[in-house]
């Protein structure tokens, strides 16, 4: 007599786990990393583009590697990202505190009033902020009385949009409606509002990265480029009419490199070219020299 052993039914979760391919499993890890790397690359390129544009150099001419852009992104996004995280934590803590206070008995009416007030305030901010992106004259005249030009004026409209969307979400979540249909509508609305907040914060951080690059270049100019590497150029011929005063002609007895040009600072170095700055009074000249055997570059350190 033979006894049949019933086959063990596998758990659906185990079946789904076995059914997933290696690529599907790797996607959970690779996709977030790819998105983060792409964001760092974008903000880093925005920062460096603004920095070198200040000196009249296109960043595409520098032949920078992707890791160079990513390394520059830390300066561009650390402060706004830190502020966004802190404000987000404060916002969540405030919502939890208000929600707990309004959950007490006898406060249902007040809860509905606060909910509608937050939704109305958020919608009002959204209706106000979206036209501001077009920068109408009345807005420029109004903010010029309170805000200085530059970052404050540029960053304010996106922040108003994000704050308005967050108020709408908080107000809707204070309304505890058990209806399944309304729950679906709220989920869809929350998704759209979260996307709106993400887009406005992305736009704001891009503006900040660009402003940070320009500010860094302006600070270098105010410090007379002391943080940049100084070089002396030995050349067979005068390197430029703009730098003629900075070059000394040693005559035929000077050897192969007849001209010696001092006072340059290295802005950047690509594979084939030098990008140099020469300060001339209140002005600065940006020179591009081909890195070949016609010049010899000597690094010097100011005392």
Write out pLDDT tens, residues 176-194.
665 666 677 777 788 888 8
**96 pLDDT tier (thresholds 50, 70, 90):** confident
> Is the model's pLDDT at 71 over the cut of 60?
yes
**16 pLDDT tier (thresholds 50, 70, 90):** very low
Nearest to 245 by CA among 204, 274, 283, 205: 283
pLDDT of residue 186: 75
**Cα–Cα distance list, 77 to 63, 81, 154, 197, 301 (Å):** 23, 6, 16, 17, 32
> Is the model's pLDDT at 294 over the cut of 60?
yes
pLDDT of residue 303: 47
pLDDT of residue 138: 67
Of 198 and 253, the structure prediction assigns the larger pLDDT to 198
pLDDT of residue 49: 92
Tell me the three state secondary structure of residue 265: strand
Q: Percentage of the chain surpassing pLDDT 70?
A: 74
Tell me the three state secondary structure of residue 267: strand
Residue 41 is given by DSSP the state: H
How do residues 159-182 score in pLDDT, each as one tens digit?
888 888 888 888 888 876 656 666
The gap from C-alpha 203 to its chain's centroid, in whole angstroms, comes to 8
Is this model's pTM higher than 0.75 or not?
Answer: no
Contact 132, 160 (CB under 8 A): yes
Lowest mean pLDDT among 39-43, 125-129, 136-140, 284-288: 136-140
> Is the model's pLDDT at 27 over the cut of 60?
no
What residue spans of the chain are helical by DSSP H?
12-19, 22-53, 66-102, 108-132, 137-143, 151-174, 180-222
Q: For the chain, what is the mean pLDDT?
A: 78
- Rounded to 5 degrees, what angle do the CA atoms 40, 46, 49 make? 135
Of 168 and 5, the structure prediction assigns the larger pLDDT to 168
How do residues 210-264 score in pLDDT, each as one tens digit?
888 888 888 888 888 888 888 888 888 877 666 656 778 877 666 778 888 888 8
Q: At what angle do helices 151-174 and 66-102 cross, to 10 degrees?
A: 40
Contact 262, 196 (CB under 8 A): no
**120 pLDDT tier (thresholds 50, 70, 90):** very high
> Is the model's pLDDT at 277 over the cut of 50?
yes
pLDDT of residue 53: 92
Q: Is 98 exposed, middle or buried (0-12, 13-18, 19+ CB in 10 A)?
A: middle
Give the end-to-end CA distance of the chain in Å, rounded to a whole number. Answer: 100
> Is the model's pLDDT at 21 over the cut of 60?
no
Other Cβ atoms less than 10 A from the Cβ of 168: the count is 23
pLDDT of residue 133: 65
Nearest to 289 by CA among 271, 276, 303, 302: 276
């Amino acid at each position: 007599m033979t006894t049949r052993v019933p086959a063990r039914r596998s758990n659906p979760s185990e079946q789904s786990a076995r059914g997933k391919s290696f690529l599907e499993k790797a996607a959970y890890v690779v996709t977030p990393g790819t998105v983060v790397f792409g964001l760092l690359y974008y903000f880093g390129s925005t920062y460096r583009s603004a920095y070198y544009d200040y000196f009249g150099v296109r960043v595409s001419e520098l032949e920078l590697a992707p890791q160079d852009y990513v390394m520059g992104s830390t300066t561009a996004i650390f402060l706004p990202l830190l502020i966004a995280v802190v404000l987000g934590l404060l916002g969540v803590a405030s919502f939890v505190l208000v929600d707990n206070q309004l959950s007490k008995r006898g406060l249902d009416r007040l809860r509905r009033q606060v909910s509608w007030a937050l939704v109305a305030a958020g919608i009002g901010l959204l209706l106000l902020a979206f036209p501001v992106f077009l920068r109408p004259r009345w807005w420029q005249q109004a903010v010029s009385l309170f805000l200085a030009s530059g970052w404050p004026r540029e960053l304010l409209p996106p922040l108003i949009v994000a704050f308005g969307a967050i108020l709408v979400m908080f107000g809707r979540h204070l309304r505890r409606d058990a209806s399944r249909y309304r729950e679906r509508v709220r989920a869809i609305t929350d998704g759209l509002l979260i996307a709106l907040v993400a887009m406005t914060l992305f736009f704001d951080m891009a503006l900040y990265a660009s402003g940070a690059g320009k500010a860094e270049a302006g600070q270098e100019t105010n410090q007379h480029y002391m943080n940049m590497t100084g070089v002396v150029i030995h050349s067979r011929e005068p390197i430029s009419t703009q730098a003629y005063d900075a070059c000394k002609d040693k005559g035929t007895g000077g050897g192969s490199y007849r001209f010696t040009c001092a006072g340059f600072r290295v802005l950047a170095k690509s594979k084939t070219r030098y990008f140099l700055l020469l300060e001339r009074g209140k002005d600065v000249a940006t020179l591009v020299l081909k890195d070949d055997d016609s010049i010899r570059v000597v690094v010097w350190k100011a005392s």
